[in-house]
Structure 1
């Protein structure tokens, strides 16, 4: 299998190189690619000219948004063409460089002259196209910025526009005068819609609309309810993950199902009617608004239902008690219905071209309805706040009933309560003063911000729970990932935490974009994303998000590959060799660091950083390394010397100063020595290279046991020698070669000083074996009556004074 995979990889690599060489060598292929890219730049330029021409007559915000998006699309096309033309220009430059400079006197062959002329012409064409594309990109970006400024100005003027106050009778008198004409316009629009529907039915029949309606009803009721039931059933089963992920996962599932299926049902119904031309041209915008309003209303309902869960308090994710949850769900239904109606009525208002006073009255009615819903929600939250604080009586004067799902006080709810009161006050003042557009904007923005914040917080909780569960050592996926990568449990959990943080940051940015989308600057956000996707220029390198993702994948793959190789070396190959444990440790350590270095170089190559840039970076950092990192560099080089020369190796017993222990680990920076009291001594590698180190076990050194003792002069020294050598011979750890020996060191005044020697297989066995021999020597000499003497102890006893002696003779009955 490995051989087949190897041959396949070689074949694919050869094919890739062959295609690349053929592309580089075939002028026809390069010419076709160049022509296609130049046509793309020309098309982008034509699209930008069309935007400039349409900009003079554009006044509606929707039209300006479309033009801004078209300008950004032209910028993206130009950038893509420039990015594809630059490698072709480099190939042409390389071929021109291969021809070399023009010979003195112009003495070249005709074919060389012709090829040089063609290459120069193509170089000039490519360079001109690249410069034109870059200029077009800059012009498109400037056009988009100017359009966004116009949209912002129109938005500000619309928000700041003032009409008659709803308390003024003039407003309602003018509305009453314009109402009959507006009703006639709406009736005319309805007749157009009915005529288009009748004509489509007469031509194509009822089959397509009925099939669309049936599919929409299937998506809206059986499929949506079935998927919701399956999600709840799985979340309550034993197969679902433990912890909070059950609740957040179910909430996200309900949010997706509840938002997508109603919106898709409306989309299917509209597209079924649109496929048979059953929608009048003036009602196309109304149909689009119907689909958009269905998605928005379904989103409102889904986020409230999955977070509040009035019938299942144990699955509730918000700090809302059982009394407030059903009421807030009802208000969410009202907000969804109002949002759906407002979007649809505004679209009908624009399509029917009703009077301005009708639009103002409609905005005022929408604003007042939103204010009423917000006030009702604030009252519900206020009552819950009183229950949480233990207020003895509710707002109606009765004792509040006990809530079955007690909650803690939430700072977010308090902030929402304060923000809601401020919004209601602002909306009331703006409505009474006649700023109805501003009142509608404030109230709808509060509702939209609340929904977006709730959805973002839910998704952030789900991302945190999912990644922590996915990389948890208790989950099946976490154990599989740990076995595949051979990482420690802590490292796997750290990966989960980092991925969770990254996804939560992305969701937070997405939520911020959703909140600011209603201000009319969505195209600016799209432009920022385009700039980010185009890459950030750092020095001479361009870092793109796709390159960063590719580099992370390459880094993980490289580290995993080299870690697997090191594991194979340590566990499979090196134990089969005749190398000792120190040599095996040196090889595995060097292989580990070589793998890390190669993985880092591979990652930098995936980022697009060439080796020449790394050389410049290394030369720039050389001065800092020479001064600031001198000690670290010295230890690193010393570690390489230790691994290569091996004056000390893994398992050796060494003495450094007054510390002695066994070498437990050798890295490129420091060496770990385990002392006899099981402590770990970390020694920089430079200490082992530049200072004196006693290697007790180097070259399989033997351990020597020395037992000095003394006996009286009257001792039979021959018998003592036989006894001592017999003690050595009877111990199994004492070697027979070299043979044990006993020597007379010196003769004292009344003693014979003797020292005996024996050898064991390792210096590590000296201490314990010597203790055993001393025990045996004490037993045998005591049994045979041989006295062991030590240096004479001299004790000086001072005689008591005469008075103290007389007092002692009198006894206790005659105290002095």
Structure 2
């Protein structure tokens, strides 16, 4: 039999072996990816042997990131192939000692082992390339940080010392000759091209630049406004999108205009090659200046206050606008002049002098802006009359005050550094403040737009929300909640991107590329306790949990609406079965989601055992109520609809959960009782064994009253009451005779304990009326009080006689 099984397995392996071997074998594409990554990493390693500047470092870093991504992807694909090979080897089973295998199986096992060794070697090469790339990236980041630290810590002669100015005057003649040479080369090139013919490329570029700068930009802004007015769903999203559109069109049009103009000049050959750095600087300056101006215009909306999304007063927008234009001019001039110094090859002393002037101009502008902001706040405080409004703005004013103090501290630090000769540090602080302000304004617009877009798109009243509620069956609140969650996720992502861009203009931290590189590394996941946690795994787990809960909900709908009504169970038993099924289904969905995250049942059991002590002490009451709830659902000593008494409270059981039981009292209030109280303490259940309620009436009549007549009146009254049942029938008994009166104890039954009070009242009303008509005295046994004189206080009770009491002696 074993030989037959081996023969069948060998035939199957021969039939599927080549296909499986071809499927799991190392592909040429993956091998070539790893080889190319290794070549690129060697090139980066050789390039780092020499000194590299900022631009070269950025290019080398991008090349290293690309090689790392390629090597990592290839290694992951090879690991998947290794897993497939291991599955094929497992199908062959272990090698049995002293048992000869079929030759075909031996060949297949050797072929699989050889293929696995080749794929494993290639995967290890990919992992090694991944590690090498990470090391090179770290080295590049350290070099970039060291270069920034060197720039910030470099000290020159203080501008307050004569040595600084003497050195600047000494280098001025040579710098002027460099400038003259640079300008003369450009003028000569322009003259040669004009003499050779009309540079139509330059004229065409200038015409296109003019068209983009003025007609196209203005028309684009107006077109966007008209479109948003006619189609946008609401004023919030309309204003946000219009502000974003103004920034886009206000930045793209001048940037394209500058690029087209420069390209026309280059195509026309009007400037020498040496001027390329200055022309590129001009394009960068136009782009940044246009972005700053359009961003300020979108935030301030000076001429369109109804479209303003920021809580800024009209007076504030009017007074801040001139300072923004000055900042735009300063930024444009600084970028162009910095490119000019690099193109000319200015001396270090001249560059230090220029950086000092730039830092001083920036600091003066920042100080002017802070002073204006302080005056605006003072004016607003003086005009504030409503105390409620002042309370609403207290938190915002406090935050603004803290930011103002920090800005003033940075300005003073930069001035001290500038006076001490740390020109690089002073310029860095000044540029950082301006860049943070620009970045914060852009982030403010993006956050508002993301929130408005997400909450408008995923709203119960939006077309998408209506489609989801009608087709999928989602509740409107779930659609709104999803919009809020999407808004929060987008805003968190934008904040992280802004933080990654914080040091981008200064060459620190790798810029936005470094941020996305770290984000990509994080996307690969981290390992915690042997479990790999990654965003993809988390998303997969959330999707699995959502699907599992949806399946539980669908099953519960079928169980409660289709299956349980077809059974003979009462409503309470159906509720118990539904609750148990729901909690079991939710538990299975959670276990399924944890399994998709990589956390198996054995890890869950280990976690529960580790938390058992904490559950025993910290969650003892919750655990006790949970177990008691399960006992109530299983044994059903109390069911939904029962009439129970807990302590002095009495009412209907309306709901039983695994933690507590809800009882509706007669005053329509709800008594929430922990399940442990119902299990461990005495509870009166009036409807557990029988749903009937009993009326009990007790009274007494004088001894001379006709007993049969009284019994007849009572039984007739019971029979006349509609709520009293015929089976079991009512009954009236003589309970006792005492103190000259006959005591009656009468009983009747009604359909429910809830009907006892009303029926008892009706019977009492009829009895009081009938006994009154018949002259029958009902009531309790009369009580007599005897007052004894002091001289008879010691007489025994047996010797006392029923005599009329005497008045006490005066």
TM-score by length of 2: 0.81
My pick for the range that moved more, 347-356 or 769-778, is 347-356
The 1:216/1:323 distance shift into structure 2, 3 A limit, reads closer
Indicate the SS of the match to 2:25. Answer: helix
Quote the residue 2:218 is aligned against: 221
Choose the corresponding residue for 1:752, options 716, 736, 742.
Answer: 742
My pick for the range that moved more, 200-209 or 305-314, is 200-209
The alignment status of 1:149 with 2:142, answered yes or no, reads yes
Counterpart CA distance in 2 for 1:312 and 1:227 is 14
Pairs within 5 Å for 1:663-678: 663-678=653-668
Choose the corresponding residue for 2:630, options 610, 617, 640.
Answer: 640
* CA deviation vs aligned residue, 1:429-482 (integer Å, no higher than 9, x gap): 555555443333222111111122333344445556666777788888778878
Counterpart CA distance in 1 for 2:697 and 2:703 is 19
TM-superposed CA distance for 1:731, in Å, is 1.6
Indicate the SS of the match to 1:158. Answer: helix
Counterpart CA distance in 1 for 2:701 and 2:195 is 131
Choose the corresponding residue for 2:172, options 168, 175, 185.
Answer: 175
TM-superposed CA distance for 1:46, in Å, is 1.3
Quote the residue 2:74 is aligned against: 81
Indicate the SS of the match to 1:738. Answer: coil
Indicate the SS of the match to 1:107. Answer: coil
The alignment status of 1:376 with 2:368, answered yes or no, reads yes
The alignment status of 1:29 with 2:23, answered yes or no, reads yes
My pick for the range that moved more, 265-274 or 139-148, is 265-274
Indicate the SS of the match to 1:221. Answer: helix
Pairs within 5 Å for 1:164-563: 168-186=165-183, 188=185, 220-228=217-225, 230-231=227-228, 239-240=233-234, 251-252=243-244, 254-259=246-251, 262-263=254-255, 289=281, 292-313=284-305, 316=308, 321-351=313-343, 353-357=345-349, 359-388=351-380, 390=382, 410-431=397-418, 434-460=421-447, 502-519=489-506, 520-521=508-509, 522=511, 524-563=514-553
Choose the corresponding residue for 2:46, options 29, 53, 64.
Answer: 53
Quote the residue 1:64 is aligned against: 57
Quote the residue 1:39 is aligned against: 32
TM-superposed CA distance for 1:664, in Å, is 1.6
TM-superposed CA distance for 1:655, in Å, is 3.2
Quote the residue 2:730 is aligned against: 740
Quote the residue 2:799 is aligned against: none
CA contact (8 A) 2:71 2:130 kept: yes
CA contact (8 A) 2:254 2:286 kept: yes
CA contact (8 A) 1:220 1:265 kept: no
TM-superposed CA distance for 1:712, in Å, is 2.1
* CA deviation vs aligned residue, 1:654-687 (integer Å, no higher than 9, x gap): 2345543321211123322233344433334344
Indicate the SS of the match to 1:104. Answer: coil
Quote the residue 2:769 is aligned against: 779
Counterpart CA distance in 1 for 2:345 and 2:83 is 58
Quote the residue 2:93 is aligned against: 100
CA contact (8 A) 1:196 1:280 kept: no
TM-superposed CA distance for 1:79, in Å, is 2.4
Quote the residue 1:125 is aligned against: 118
CA RMSD of aligned residues (A): 4.3
My pick for the range that moved more, 278-287 or 621-630, is 278-287
Indicate the SS of the match to 1:757. Answer: strand
Quote the residue 1:717 is aligned against: 707
CA contact (8 A) 1:727 1:776 kept: yes
Quote the residue 1:769 is aligned against: 759
Choose the corresponding residue for 1:705, options 672, 692, 695.
Answer: 695
Quote the residue 1:401 is aligned against: none
TM-superposed CA distance for 1:24, in Å, is 12
Indicate the SS of the match to 1:698. Answer: coil
The 1:23/1:32 distance shift into structure 2, 3 A limit, reads farther
TM-superposed CA distance for 1:629, in Å, is 4.7
* CA deviation vs aligned residue, 1:325-357 (integer Å, no higher than 9, x gap): 223222222222332343344345445545545
TM-superposed CA distance for 1:281, in Å, is 7.0
TM-superposed CA distance for 1:386, in Å, is 3.9
Which blocks of at least 5 consecutive residues in structure 2 are unaligned?
1-15, 384-391, 788-804
Indicate the SS of the match to 1:781. Answer: helix
Indicate the SS of the match to 1:56. Answer: coil
CA contact (8 A) 2:204 2:264 kept: no
The 1:546/1:194 distance shift into structure 2, 3 A limit, reads farther
The 1:531/1:24 distance shift into structure 2, 3 A limit, reads farther
Indicate the SS of the match to 1:168. Answer: helix
The 1:382/1:205 distance shift into structure 2, 3 A limit, reads closer
CA contact (8 A) 1:200 1:276 kept: no
TM-superposed CA distance for 1:159, in Å, is 3.2
TM-superposed CA distance for 1:125, in Å, is 2.2
CA contact (8 A) 1:319 1:407 kept: no
CA contact (8 A) 1:231 1:253 kept: no
The total of aligned residue pairs comes to: 762
The 1:204/1:345 distance shift into structure 2, 3 A limit, reads closer
Indicate the SS of the match to 2:654. Answer: strand
The 1:619/1:381 distance shift into structure 2, 3 A limit, reads closer
CA contact (8 A) 2:171 2:347 kept: no
My pick for the range that moved more, 183-192 or 523-532, is 183-192
Which blocks of at least 5 consecutive residues in structure 1 are unaligned?
1-21, 392-405, 804-816
Quote the residue 1:11 is aligned against: none
* CA deviation vs aligned residue, 1:404-453 (integer Å, no higher than 9, x gap): xx998834444454445444444445555554433332221111111223
TM-superposed CA distance for 1:283, in Å, is 6.5
* CA deviation vs aligned residue, 1:562-614 (integer Å, no higher than 9, x gap): 33553565467655665432123223323332332233233223423344433
The alignment status of 1:593 with 2:587, answered yes or no, reads no
Indicate the SS of the match to 2:644. Answer: strand
The 1:715/1:499 distance shift into structure 2, 3 A limit, reads farther
TM-score by length of 1: 0.81
CA contact (8 A) 1:164 1:170 kept: no
